[in-house]
């Protein structure tokens, strides 16, 4: 899977490809380098030579492609909806238990007398 995105918020497509046992070549932009880098071939999406070299390596070097597949499967296992939902619920529960800030109910006069 080649994902030369110029901007990415979170970047689930590379992780989903990893979960499908597909070697991933992805951009170093946005969150992609942080999310996919340990298990992907990371490239500058505006550098055609880097993209073509990564494509060549994945297609002509079976050991390289297999290493990306192995690390991709392991890496993708860290991302799942059950964990994400549990973490989100924990944040909501922590917020619900925290003391509520008091609102200032005193009137403010714009015309000092």
Sheet holding 41-43, edge to edge: 2-3, 25-27, 41-43
What domains can you pick out in the chain, each with its CATH number?
2-80 (3.40.50.2000)
18 has a pLDDT exceeding 80: yes
Which is nearest to 41 in space by CA: 20, 61, 29, 23?
23
pLDDT at 99: 73
Q: Residue 51 in contact with residue 4, Cβ under 8 Å?
A: yes
Q: Residue 80 in contact with residue 16, Cβ under 8 Å?
A: no
pLDDT tens column, 33-89: 888 988 999 999 999 999 999 999 999 999 999 999 999 999 999 888 788 888 889
pLDDT tens column, 85-102: 888 899 898 888 877 766
pTM: 0.73
Q: Classify residue 71 by burial, with Cβ atoms within 10 Å: 0-12, 13-18, 19+.
A: middle
């Amino acid at each position: 899977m080649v994902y030369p995105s110029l901007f990415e918020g979170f970047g689930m497509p590379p992780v989903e490809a990893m979960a499908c046992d597909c070697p991933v070549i992805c951009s170093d932009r946005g969150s992609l380098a942080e999310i996919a880098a340990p298990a992907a071939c990371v490239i500058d999406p505006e550098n055609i030579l880097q993209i073509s070299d990564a494509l060549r390596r994945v297609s002509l070097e079976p050991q390289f492609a297999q290493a990306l597949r192995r690390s991709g499967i392991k890496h993708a296992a860290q991302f799942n909806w059950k964990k994400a939902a549990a973490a989100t619920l924990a944040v909501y529960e922590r917020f619900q238990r925290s003391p509520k800030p008091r609102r200032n109910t005193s009137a403010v006069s714009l015309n000092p007398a």
